[in-house]
Amino acid sequence: MSFEFSDNLRKMKSSEIRSLLKYVTMPGMISFGGGLPNPETFPSAELKEIMDDVIENYASQALQYGQTDGLQLLKNEIRKFLDRDENIKTDTDNIMVTTGSQQSLYALSKIFANPGDYVITEAPTYVGMISSLNANLVNSVSVKMDSNGMIIEELEKQLEYLKSIGKKPKFIYTIPTFQNPAGYTMTLDRRKQLLEIAYENNIPVIEDNPYGDLRYSGTKIPTLKSLDDHDIVTYLGTFSKVMSPGLRTGYTVSQPEVLSRYNILKQALDLASDSLSQYIAYEYLNRGIIYKQIPKTIELYKKKRDIMLESLDEHVKDAVWSKPDGGMFLWLKLNHNIDTSKMLERALKNKVAYITGSAFYQNNPEINTMRLNFTYSSDSDIVEGVRRLAKTIEEEVKN
């Protein structure tokens, strides 16, 4: 039988990143494409111990359906973690446990915006936000960044533009710290300016902070949420980068009136998040293992970042790139107007993979850009991969 399908998915296409996952496993391929944490950072031994104890002590709850808003024990640990780690003062009523942060990107897009509405993102922005907007038929205008994050004048310009077409943005989405894909971090001044603009125009802000704990240089900058005295910021956190992404456990901090809507929607999306993973995350926080794990992860990733930056300096001509103080990615821009999607075939032939920059724009991509991940590959593969990338660029420029 051949079916008729709805029009709901008309703006969606398969993420190039997800599709590229398969190259990661091809023999000889060095992939800077994925967004994968390094398995060396997974606290396997500690998690094994935790799992044993969870089954010993909580089997009948950890294997049962949970509450839609999440495990109360875990929410309380998240509250304490946010206070200690990010100076975010909140209450468990303002916390929702989510099936990864991805679920929140989808849900918040649907809760705040009707089909055809507009939101504001950074340019480039996280590909998972783009797919969530597309799935909900929501449009975006995007704000240019420099190495200090979102350019506030550009934000004002986009707000003016939306006003001129009679639209008010339904929210501003930002990854202010170690942005994915660009690696930039928004300065404190700009954070304050962004909040002022949000307050003046009553525009909700979604702060996505998956990488905040992974700082390798420079000084910590307060999260938007910790600066927010008008309760306008919805904050997204995840354990994907500081415990394990396989456990699909994230959290969202927001007003109860946002979370009550999210709760109703989540009942339709998946009823509740995985109980076992929530109990594991609870013990991971409760036992303080997260505080031992983060420095280890930083040590590993800092070295890899440094190796990639040094290798780029040494080998790559005809391009500029960001110098991230943390996170997992850097952003490379070719000096020539070369389309990195077209160059990808040559790169794969040279056994190196990246994500073409155009994946990170809902519209108007900068085609001569790419995202490079520096956390997954071995140290020696980073050196060799950058060499292959340099060769690929050189060959492409010549042609």
**Binding residues for its own copies restricted to 156-215, rule: CB under 8 A:** 170, 199, 202, 204
Which one among 197, 227, 265, 338 touches its own copies, defined by CB under 8 A? 265
Nearest distance in Å: CB 313, its own copies: 30
Q: Are 41 and 328 in contact (CB under 8 A)?
A: no
Which one among 31, 121, 125, 134 touches its own copies, defined by CB under 8 A? 134
Which one among 79, 248, 304, 388 touches its own copies, defined by CB under 8 A? 248
Choose the binding region for its own copies from 176-184, 229-237, 282-290, 293-301 (rule: CB under 8 A). Answer: 229-237
For position 292 contacting its own copies by CB under 8 A, the verdict is: no
Burial level of 84, CB count in 10 A (0-12/13-18/19+)? exposed
Binding residues among 64-93 for its own copies as defined by CB under 8 A = 64-68
SS3 96: strand
Binding residues among 102-121 for its own copies as defined by CB under 8 A = 102-103, 105-106, 110-114, 117
- Parallel/antiparallel/unpaired status of strands 329-334 and 172-174: unpaired
Dihedral of the alpha carbons of 233, 238, 242, 244, in degrees to the nearest 10? -170
- How far is the C-alpha of 233 from the C-alpha of 25, rounded, in Å? 39
Between 31 and 185, CB nearer to its own copies: 31
Which one among 33, 37, 176, 237 touches its own copies, defined by CB under 8 A? 37
Between 195 and 348, CB nearer to its own copies: 195
Between 138 and 307, CB nearer to its own copies: 138
Q: Are 119 and 170 in contact (CB under 8 A)?
A: yes
Which one among 90, 94, 99, 377 touches its own copies, defined by CB under 8 A? 99
Choose the binding region for its own copies from 43-51, 118-126, 151-159, 183-191 (rule: CB under 8 A). Answer: 43-51
**DSSP code at position 326:** B
Binding residues among 354-393 for its own copies as defined by CB under 8 A = none
Q: At what angle do helices 275-286 and 289-315 cross, to 10 degrees?
A: 90
Choose the binding region for its own copies from 45-53, 285-293, 330-338, 391-399 (rule: CB under 8 A). Answer: 45-53
Nearest distance in Å: CB 261, its own copies: 6
- How far is the C-alpha of 35 from the C-alpha of 245, rounded, in Å? 10
Between 250 and 396, CB nearer to its own copies: 250
Binding residues among 297-326 for its own copies as defined by CB under 8 A = none
For 12, phi and psi rounded to 5 degrees? -95, 140
Dihedral of the alpha carbons of 209, 279, 263, 171, in degrees to the nearest 10? 0
State the Rg of the chain over Cα. Answer: 21
- How far is the C-alpha of 138 from the C-alpha of 116, rounded, in Å? 5
Nearest distance in Å: CB 208, its own copies: 14
Structure tokens at 331: 């952003």
Percentage helix, strand, coil, to 5, in the chain? 50, 15, 35
Choose the binding region for its own copies from 266-274, 285-293, 305-313, 325-333 (rule: CB under 8 A). Answer: 266-274
In the block, tokens 């997974």 appear at 42
